Amino acid sequence: MGELIPGMLKELIDRITAVVLMGDPRHMACEEYHHGTAHKEDEDGVFPRSPEQVEILNSHKDKISSYCNRKDALCAVRGKRNLAGHYDTISSFVTPAKEWVLEMIDGIEELPEVPDELEVTKWI
């Protein structure tokens, strides 16, 4: 994809508790924070990360959870491309992702206010 963008300040990175990626088109099967069924090298996303980018993200693996299944046409391009599989990846992992985030924020003394309902928009 292009050059690396400048990194975030360490002070900002330290404030991040959890990052969830679902159907990430930059997914790499070698990422240490990956979950799902797309594990083989030929199951990388349509815009795979460079080795340097993977190394940087793997250094924050305890704060990242990325979900991708083999049938997802964007995060795992192996085999027949199926956009419905992309939406299936998302719906398949909503509950485990939510539980992981709740586990990650458990014990944090000051949580930001979150609205009761969040608007989710599907886009292509």
What is the model's pLDDT at position 116?
58
CA-to-CA separations, 82 to 26, 45, 91, 104, in angstroms, rounded? 17, 13, 15, 32
Q: What CA–CA distance (Å, rounded) separates 56 from 44?
A: 17
- The full set of domain ranges for the chain reads 16-105
Residue bearing the bigger pLDDT, 19 or 69: 19
CATH label, 16-105, candidates 3.40.50.720, 3.40.630.30, 3.40.630.10, 3.40.50.1820:
3.40.50.1820
Cβ–Cβ < 8 Å for 16, 63: yes
Among 23-27, 41-45, 67-71, 106-110, which range has the highest average pLDDT? 23-27
What is the reported pTM?
A: 0.74
pLDDT (tens digit per residue) in 3-53: 555 666 676 777 789 999 999 999 888 788 888 888 776 678 888 888 888
